[in-house]
Amino acid sequence: MYLKRLEMQGFKSFADKTVLEFMPGITSVIGPNGSGKSNISDCIRWILGEQSMKSLRGAKTQDIIFAGTQSRKSLGFAEASLVFDNIDGSLPIEYSEVTVTRKIYRSGETGYYINKAPCRLKDILELFMDTGIGRDGYSIIGQGKIDEILSNKSEDRRHIFEEAAGIVKYRTRKEETERKLEQTKLNLLRINDILSEIESNLEPLQQQAEKAKKYLNLKEELKNIEVGLFLYNIEKLKKSLEEFTENKELVVKAANSSQLAKLIKTIAVTSSQIASKSMTIVSDEENELDYEDVEGNKQKEMVKIVQDTVSDDEFIETLELEDGWD
């Protein structure tokens, strides 16, 4: 595996699209100060996933995008690609040529691509892990890197040796697995706390549910009793009215009886109460008592009979003359 090509556009001083071809072996880039030699190495590190602007000799993200000159406007994005020859299969991907691309806009939006397919930064880091080509790999040695390695602590130097030995990938996966395991433990503790809280509220909720169920049963029983009593009174009144209306002459002859007058008056009041009760029950239970339409018609007929009987002028006049009832 070796680096075949570097393509840049809008990265720092490279405003136009620039392509650098690399042949197997050693390639030297020479030029005067300020010609952009260091920008090439910065570009390679940036493509491989470098996130520190300090390492790229910048203060903020927009500093890596071409800022413009007196004769040329600034650009709104920067894009760069590394092309690797992978005939020997050094990279764990089924392509003989691998292109890694990174693109960034002034808005801060960024994107990573492997062979023009969108991917994550994590995918690029894992692709070059243990190859020595990563952003922290030993294959990229910048200015002062040797002095930094020599002056670092043993723990920091060990990372370079692990990268060269090819065990960084396994250590990284181990650390990631340990983090997930710790997060899982925290989630289990949280779930146990939630279960404990639910269990403490379970018994009161069951009691409330039983009370609600009992209330509904009693309400249904009360409704049935009221309906039954209502129908009983209807039938009783109907029989009484039928007896009085079958022979009106007997009713007139018995009008001098104060007991009959009181009965007629009671019937009138009862009919009014039954009509009122009928309207209430039908209004409250119209969706549950399907038979009330038929019964309601019967009730209306009986109430009309009572009203006609009680309001009959001849009947009322007779009662008033005979008994003085008003």
Instruction: Give yes or no for a contact between 89 and 128, defined as CB atoms under 8 angstroms apart.
Output: no
CA distance 122 to 126: 6
CATH superfamily, with its number, for domain 2-135: P-loop containing nucleotide triphosphate hydrolases (3.40.50.300)
CA distance 156 to 138: 13
Instruction: Give yes or no for a contact between 216 and 208, defined as CB atoms under 8 angstroms apart.
Output: no
Q: What is the pLDDT of residue 104?
A: 93
Q: What is the pLDDT of residue 306?
A: 47
Q: What is the pLDDT of residue 271?
A: 57
Whether this model's pTM surpasses 0.75: no
CB atoms within 10 A of CB 221: 10
Q: What is the pLDDT of residue 158?
A: 74
| Annotated domain spans of the chain | 2-135, 227-323
Q: What is the pLDDT of residue 137?
A: 62
CB atoms within 10 A of CB 159: 14
Give Cα 87 distance to the centre of its chain: 47
CA distance 274 to 300: 10
Taken as a whole, the chain contains a residue count of: 326
Q: What is the pLDDT of residue 311?
A: 46
Q: What is the pLDDT along the chain (326 residues), one digit of tens a residue?
A: 888 999 999 999 899 999 999 888 888 888 888 888 888 888 988 998 888 887 788 888 888 899 888 888 999 999 999 999 988 888 888 889 999 999 999 988 999 999 999 999 888 888 887 676 766 666 777 666 667 667 767 776 777 677 666 677 777 788 889 999 999 999 999 998 888 888 888 888 888 999 999 999 999 999 899 888 888 888 888 887 777 666 655 555 554 455 555 555 666 656 565 556 555 554 554 444 444 444 445 445 544 554 454 444 444 444 444 444 44
Instruction: Give yes or no for a contact between 260 and 243, defined as CB atoms under 8 angstroms apart.
Output: no
